[in-house]
Structure 1
Amino acid sequence: MTQQITTPPPVTPLPSKKREFRRFLQVLFRSPGAKIGGIILLVTIIVAIFAPAIAPFDPLEMGVGSTLQPPSADHWFGTDDFGRDLFSRIVYGSRLTLRIGLIAVFISITSGVLLGMVAGYAGGWIEAILMRGVDVLFSFTETLIALAAVAVLGPSLTNATIAVGISSIPFYARVTYGAVLVEKNKEYFKAAQAIGAKHFRLIFRHILPNILSPIIVVATVGVSVAVLSASALSFLGLGAQPPSPEWGAILAAGRDYFRRAPWVTTFPGLAIAITVLGFNLLGDGLREALDPQQRRP
């Protein structure tokens, strides 16, 4: 009796993009730092979205407890000098923190990427003018640029966010400019030019998709820088104004009571530090996952 051997159907390989994306997720989830950073940011986002349900008190309501009351069962993080619940203020402050970071990075990344791409692609006198202007801005620190912008716009949370976004434009422009120069010298780009590809196709089909990886990593870490800068401006009285529950403003209000009521500065300081750590860890994980060397099987 002859045994019939059945041949299994051939395995269809995953499309290249799908396979690359799966490998990207594998490398990303393999990083302990990326996992921790992702969890921190996920918790921060959930707290920001459901702040009204999580916070036991109105963050602006005064006299919900005794002034400078230490942490207790009724007030987990204690109260401030106006008797406001500190836990509720920090919970609502997460909304402001995420809004500041995302809007500031959006301003920086759109303006900086545009400048860097135009300078790197156009070359010539356009490149010289734009990049010399960026070099001039690079001679000043981001904090100094932000302070100058706030001095012109006026102290407020919105203006502080805009100022922080403006201060980081030179950095994104320089990163994008360098990435564009690298892509322009590659064979695929020269081949596309040789067959007569239009400028729009060269920029948005060939250059932009290939420089997104470093921009995404820089933008993720840039959110943490924006959060720190905005908190610093609020601490100096140039950002969020009382009674806004912004973490930097809460820190500024509690500095006069540091010895008597250290919880007023400790908890918002921890909130800032943990959030910044989350963005930095996630940025490191993305950098590793987007590295082609790491995605090799």
Structure 2
Amino acid sequence: MTTETLDPRSADADAPVAASARRKPRSFLAALLRSPSGLIGLVIVGLLVVCALTAPVIAPHDPLRMAAGPRLQPPTWDYWMGTDDFGRDVLSRILYGAQLTLQIGVIAVGISLTCGLLLGLVAGYSSGWTERVLMRLVDVLFSFTEIVIALACLAIFGVGLTNAMIAIGIASIPFYARVTHSVVLVEKGKPYFEAATAAGAGHLRLIFVHLLPNVVPTLIVVGTLGVSTAVLAAAGLSFLGLGAQPPEPEWGFMLSASRDLISRAPWMMIFPGLAIAVTVLGFNLLGDGVREALDPRQRQR
């Protein structure tokens, strides 16, 4: 039985590394809060999350209840955002719509980011015919706009909010695969990866220890910005009648339902439109802040 002695110098050398690892989340959060765009975006997204989580508590009425108030009631102290043509409280529907908005962003971006990461990572690492086949397939899909791919998916799956989220996620896969593939190619050309390869590191170690940690920060930024794109796409599909179906309180569907009443009840279109605009602005600002916080040059500056 052999005993292994610990070199005190190696322990001293590992201490700064461990301390640096502990400081990374703190330094990232500090850099995010120092960024004006990141701070504003974080506040907006935070308010959206709070509204979504507390909607059953703070909503004054059931969002699906008809005749909760007079039909087409303008904004008053009792109905802060007025009522729609069925007498439903617009404020309550906006608050509950925040839940659907977060669900759309998380599911759609989760599908596209996961599948795109897998495709781009496999294509970038494997090279050869595997890379050519996968990336040519991605190029074919990338030649179509995302809305065309989403419409084709809905033609196969059928209309509905769940199918719309899946369709939006599938439509964005080529973009995330392209981003991942580009980052993997850049990382493979760096000295640390060549040194790890020369040292005999296995495929799994090269992928999960050396490549993946360097790909994830870029995908975090792209995914944060992609939430706003997913929200807009879902609102557009619901506006066309292909996403949310009545009586779901989805903001895009609320815009569609108020088209014929814009002159009589403009508040029915103004408030859902403002909710979509503020949400998209919040995620875009948060994405910019995350990019600055993860960029070493911005952090040093």
Q: Structure 1-normalised TM-score?
A: 0.94
- Aligned residue pairs total 286
Opposite residue 170 of structure 1, the aligned amino acid is: P
- Aligned position for 2:240: 236
1:104 to 108, 115, 124: 108
What is the distance in 2 between the residues matched to 1:23 and 1:74? 45
Alpha-carbon distance in structure 1 between the residues aligned to 2:196 and 2:105: 38
What displacement does 1:113 show? Answer: 0.3
Deviation at 1:21, TM superposition (A): 3.4
Aligned to 2:160: 156
Secondary structure of the equivalent of 1:196?
coil
State how far apart, in whole Å, the 1-side matches of 2:79 and 2:274 are: 17
Q: Write the distance in 2 (CA, Å) between the matches of 1:19 and 1:71.
A: 49
Q: CA deviation at 1:296?
A: 2.5
Cα deviations across residues 231-286 of structure 1 (Å, max 9, x unaligned)? 10000000000000000011100011011110001000000010111000000000
Q: Aligned residue for 1:186?
A: 190
- Partner residue in 2 for 1:25: 29
Secondary structure, aligned partner of 1:295: helix
Following superposition, the deviation at residue 65 of structure 1 comes to 1.2
The whole-number CA distance in structure 2 between the counterparts of 1:119 and 1:151 is 29
Instruction: Supply the AA of the counterpart residue of 1:214.
Output: T
SS in 2 for 1:162: helix
Q: What amino acid maps onto 1:155 in structure 2?
A: V
Q: C-alpha deviations, 1:106-132, integer Å up to 9, x for none?
A: 000000000000000000000001101
Of residues 206, 209, 221, the one that matches 1:205 is 209
Q: Percent identity?
A: 64
Could you tell me which residue of structure 2 aligns to residue 43 of structure 1? 47
Distance in 1 between the 2:109 and 2:216 partners? 15
1:28-64 CA deviation, whole Å, 9 max, x = no partner?
1111111111111111111111111111100000011
Deviations 1:184-239 (A, max 9, x none): 01111111111111101100000000111110000000011000000100000000
1:138-157 pair list within 5 angstroms = 138-157=142-161
1:19, distance to aligned residue in structure 2 (A) = 3.4
Q: 1:172 aligned to 2:183? A: no
Task: Give the Cα–Cα distance (whole angstroms) in 1 for the partners of residues 292 and 47 of structure 2.
Answer: 23
Read off the aligned partner of 2:238 and give its amino acid letter.
S
Structure 2 residue runs of 5 or longer lacking an equivalent are 1-14
2:126 is the counterpart of 1:122: yes
Supply the AA of the counterpart residue of 1:59. P
Structure with greater helix share of residues: 2
SS in 1 for 2:298: coil
Q: Structure 1: 5+ residue runs without aligned partners?
A: 1-11
Shift of the alpha carbon at 1:153? 0.6
Q: Residue 281 in 1 paired to residue 253 in 2?
A: no
Give the secondary structure class of the aligned counterpart of 2:166.
Answer: helix
Q: Which amino acid letter does the alignment assign opposite residue 139 of structure 1?
A: S
- For 2:163 and 2:216, the matched residues in 1 are separated by 28
Name the amino acid aligned to 1:28: L
Instruction: Identify the residue that residue 297 of structure 2 maps to in structure 1.
Output: 293
Distance in 2 between residues matched to 1:295 and 1:44, nearest whole Å? 27
1:22 Cα deviation from its structure 2 partner: 3.1
Please give the residue correspondences for 1:255-274 in structure 2 after superposition, counting only pairs within 5 Å.
255-274=259-278
Q: Quote the RMSD (CA, aligned, Å).
A: 1.2
